[in-house]
Chains A and B, each alone.
Chain A
Amino acid sequence: MADITRAASSEQGTDSAAIIAPPRVSNNEKLLRFIVPIGALLVFVLLWQAFVSLRGIPTYILPGPVDAIVALFKDSGTLWPALWVTLRITFMALGVALLGGVVLAIIIVQSKWLELALFPFTVILQVTPIIAIAPLILIYAPDTQTALMICAFLVAFFPILSNMVQGLKSVDHNLLNLFELYGAKGWQTLFFLKIPASMPYFMAGLRIAGGLSLIAAVVAEFAAGSAGQGSGLAFRLLESQYRLNLPRMFAALIMLCGTGIAIYALTSFVAWLTLHRWHESAIRREN
C-alpha cells in the first residue's frame, strides 16, 4: 500500500498532476478590463449630450441623456408600476417555462415515439413569430395579463425544452452503462446522472430564455395594445410616443435595458454558481 502511495505521488511529478494555481492577472489589467467598457459608454453619453446641447435640438425630437434621467425620476410614479407589471409577466412566464420545459423534456426523452409525436407541435410553435399568434391568444385568453404571460411563456419555453432534451440525451454512454451495471433504478439514473449531466445545456437555455421572456413580454404588449392601470412598460412607450414625450420614452427604454441586463446578469450568475466547480464553460483556460 505504501508502494502505491509513493507511486501516486511520484506520478504526480511526471504526469501533469494536481491542482493548478490560476495564472496571475496583473492589477493594472484587472482595472483596465473594468474601465475600458465603462469609459466607452460614458464617452458616448457625453457626446450625445454635447450634440443635443450645442445644436439646441428640442426634446420632442431628441432629448439628451440628462432629460431622460430627469424623466426617469419625475415620471417614476407612472414608470415604476409599469416596470413592475412587465417584470411580473416576464418572471411568471419564465418560471412556468422553466418548470414546463424541464418536465416536458424529461417526459419526452423517456420515449422516442412521444418525442416524434410532439415534434411537429414544437417546431410549429417555435418557428411562428410570436407577434403573429398574439392576437389569437388575446381572443382566447380570459384577460390581457394572462394573454401576455402565455406569449412570453411560449417564447421562453422552447429554448429550455430543446436545450434540456439535448442535455438529457447527451449523457456519456459509459456512465449510463455504469449506472446500469450497478442496477440503478430509473429515478436514480434521472436524478444522479441525467439531470446533473444536462445542467450546462439547461443553463444555456436559461440564459436565452431569460432575455427572450422579457422581449416577448414587451412585444406581446405592443400587440395587445392594452391601456390603463395594469399596463406595462410597452404601453408607456407607445403612450409617450403618441404624446411626443420623448424624455419619458427614453427613460422607459433605460428601464427596459437595465432590466434586460439584470436578468442576463442573474441567469449568468446562477449558471456560474451551478457550473463553476466542474464545467469547462465556467473555467478559465489554463494557457
Chain B
Amino acid sequence: MFAPLFVIGNRPLTDLSYTTRAPEAASEQRPVVTMRDVSKVFSNGTLALKGMSLDVQSGEFISLLGPSGCGKSTALRIIAGLGAPSSGQVAWPSSKINSKGLPEGDVGFVFQEPTLMPWSTVFGNVYLPLKLRGVSKADARDAVMQQLANVGLADFAKAYPRELSGGMKMRVSIARALVTQPKLLLMDEPFAALDEITRQKLNDDVLELWTRTRVTVIFVTHSVFESAYLSNRIVVMRARPGQVYTDLPIAQPETRDADYRVSEFYRANCQTVSDALQRAIQSAES
C-alpha cells in the first residue's frame, strides 16, 4: 500500500468510496443560499451591513439575533432581493434563477406586520402569490385551503383581515408565505408586535411547521429566548457597523414544549446565547 499524497478533511484522496460518493454528497450539501462578503450602504451614507458571509444549508432553522441597527433585517431583505447589496454576492446554488437573479417562488417572506391587503379576504390574501404567477383561482383553491388549514384558519377563508385578531393575521401572513411551497422562509421579527402568550403559541406553531416540512428558515429576532427556543443555529450580529459577530450551533431536542421552556438545557442555551449577545453589544460600544 502507499500513503495518500493529499488529505482533504480526514479523508485521503485515494479513498475510492469518497470520489464515487462525492457528487451525491455534494448535491445534498448544496446550500440553499450563500452570502459572500455582502455589504450595504444606505443612501444617507450609513454602513448598514459590512462583509457578511453566510451559508444557509437546507433544513436549517437559523436565527439572526442582535440589537437594533445591527443589520439583521437589512441582511434578510437583501437575501429576499428587496434592495441589492452595495458589494458582495448572494447566490442560490440549488434554485432556478430568474432574470433579476432571484429564485422566484422559492422564497417566502413574513414581515413584522401581517401586511395583508385589507380589501381582500383571508383567501384572497393567501392566494395572492399564486395569482401573481398567473394561477387561476380554481387551480389555486386546494393549495390555499391547505395552507389555511395548516395555520388553523380554514373557517376564516371568507373573513376580512379587520375581523381577525393580531395573532390570526400573522397566521394568514405565514400561510401566504408558504403557499408557493418555498425552499426558504424568511421571517423578519414576525411576532415582535404580539403579546407574550400569542407569541409563544405562534412560536410553537412555527416549530411544528418546520418539524413537519423541514423548510429552511431564517428568523430575525432581538429576543434571546425566542432564538434559543426555535433555532438550531444562531448568528449573533453586532451594530455600528452591522456585521456577524459569532455563529453558534444550538443543540435542540426534537420535541420542544412547555416543559422544555423551563428545562435546565434550555436555560443553559439561553445563557450561552445571552453571553454572546452581551459580548457583541459591548464590542460595538468599545
From 225 to 252 in chain A, residues with beta carbon under 8 angstroms from any chain B beta carbon are: none
A1 and B153 CA atoms in complex are apart in Å by: 12
Q: Are B132 and A179 in contact (CB under 8 A)?
A: yes
Q: Does B37 contact A (CB under 8 A)?
A: no
A182 and B82 CA atoms in complex are apart in Å by: 11
Chain A residues within 8 Å of B81, by CB: 180-181
Q: Are B171 and A8 in contact (CB under 8 A)?
A: yes
Q: Are B149 and A181 in contact (CB under 8 A)?
A: no
Q: Are A178 and B162 in contact (CB under 8 A)?
A: no
Q: Does A199 contact B (CB under 8 A)?
A: yes
Contact A15 to B204, CB < 8 A, known contacts A4-B151, A5-B152, A278-B119: no
Q: Are B115 and A175 in contact (CB under 8 A)?
A: yes
**Closest A-chain residue to B114, C-beta based?**
A174
Binds B, one of A106-114, A132-140, A188-196: A188-196
Q: Are B118 and A7 in contact (CB under 8 A)?
A: no
Chain B residues within 8 Å of A5, by CB: 149, 152
A192 and B137 CA atoms in complex are apart in Å by: 14
B 68-105 to A, binary, CB cutoff 8 A, 1 in contact else 0? 00000000010011100000000000000010101011
**Closest A-chain residue to B131, C-beta based?**
A192
Contact A12 to B119, CB < 8 A, known contacts A7-B204, A178-B109, A277-B160: no
Q: Are A15 and B167 in contact (CB under 8 A)?
A: yes
Chain B residues within 8 Å of A273, by CB: none
Q: Does A27 contact B (CB under 8 A)?
A: no
Q: Does A177 contact B (CB under 8 A)?
A: yes
Q: Are A8 and B195 in contact (CB under 8 A)?
A: no
Q: Are B107 and A181 in contact (CB under 8 A)?
A: yes
Chain A residues within 8 Å of B212, by CB: 1
Contact A11 to B117, CB < 8 A, known contacts A4-B205, A179-B132, A182-B129: no
**Closest B-chain residue to A183, C-beta based?**
B104
Q: Are B208 and A19 in contact (CB under 8 A)?
A: no
Q: Are A11 and B165 in contact (CB under 8 A)?
A: yes
Q: Are B167 and A177 in contact (CB under 8 A)?
A: no
A2 and B252 CA atoms in complex are apart in Å by: 23
Chain B interface residue bracket vs A: 35 or more
A17 and B163 CA atoms in complex are apart in Å by: 8
Q: Does B13 contact A (CB under 8 A)?
A: no
Q: Are B159 and A19 in contact (CB under 8 A)?
A: yes
Q: Are B117 and A12 in contact (CB under 8 A)?
A: no
Q: Are B165 and A283 in contact (CB under 8 A)?
A: no
Q: Are A11 and B168 in contact (CB under 8 A)?
A: yes
User: Within the complex, which residue of B131, B132, B160, B166 is in contact with A278, where a contact is CB–CB below 8 Å?
Assistant: B160
Chain B residues within 8 Å of A16, by CB: 165-166
Q: Does B225 contact A (CB under 8 A)?
A: no
Q: Are B205 and A18 in contact (CB under 8 A)?
A: no
Chain A residues within 8 Å of B119, by CB: 196-197, 199, 277-279
Q: Are A283 and B162 in contact (CB under 8 A)?
A: yes
**Closest A-chain residue to B162, C-beta based?**
A278
**Closest B-chain residue to A5, C-beta based?**
B152
Contact A183 to B163, CB < 8 A, known contacts A8-B171, A178-B111: no
From 1 to 50 in chain A, residues with beta carbon under 8 angstroms from any chain B beta carbon are: 1, 3-12, 14-20
A278 and B81 CA atoms in complex are apart in Å by: 31
Q: Does B56 contact A (CB under 8 A)?
A: no
Q: Are A14 and B197 in contact (CB under 8 A)?
A: yes
Q: Does A99 contact B (CB under 8 A)?
A: no
Q: Does A184 contact B (CB under 8 A)?
A: yes
Chain A residues within 8 Å of B164, by CB: 18
A210 and B25 CA atoms in complex are apart in Å by: 70
Chain A residues within 8 Å of B33, by CB: none
Q: Are A4 and B208 in contact (CB under 8 A)?
A: yes
Contact A11 to B82, CB < 8 A, known contacts A175-B115, A182-B133, A278-B119: no
Chain B residues within 8 Å of A199, by CB: 119
Q: Does B226 contact A (CB under 8 A)?
A: no
Q: Does B36 contact A (CB under 8 A)?
A: no
From 131 to 173 in chain B, residues with beta carbon under 8 angstroms from any chain A beta carbon are: 131-133, 149-153, 159-168, 171
User: Within the complex, which residue of A1, A19, A175, A192 is in contact with B163, where a contact is CB–CB below 8 Å?
Assistant: A19
Q: Does A172 contact B (CB under 8 A)?
A: yes
Chain B residues within 8 Å of A283, by CB: 162
Chain A residues within 8 Å of B107, by CB: 181
**Closest B-chain residue to A185, C-beta based?**
B132
A177 and B212 CA atoms in complex are apart in Å by: 28
B 189-200 to A, binary, CB cutoff 8 A, 1 in contact else 0? 000000101100
Q: 9 closest Cβ contacts across the A-B interface?
A: A8-B152, A174-B115, A5-B152, A15-B165, A278-B118, A182-B132, A196-B119, A278-B119, A16-B165
- Ordered by A's residue number, 20 sampled pairs between the chains whose C-beta atoms are within 8 Å are A1-B149, A9-B152, A11-B201, A15-B166, A15-B167, A15-B168, A15-B195, A15-B198, A172-B115, A175-B115, A181-B81, A181-B107, A182-B132, A182-B133, A184-B132, A197-B117, A197-B119, A278-B161, A280-B162, A283-B162
In the complex, given contacts A12-B168, A175-B115, what are 10 additional A-B residue pairs having Cβ atoms less than 8 angstroms apart?
A: A4-B205, A7-B205, A16-B165, A18-B163, A177-B111, A181-B81, A181-B107, A182-B132, A196-B120, A278-B160
Chain B residues in the interface with A (C-beta under 8 A):
77, 80-82, 98, 100, 102, 104-105, 107, 109, 111, 113, 115, 117-120, 128-129, 131-133, 149-153, 159-168, 171, 180, 195, 197-198, 201, 204-205, 208-209, 212
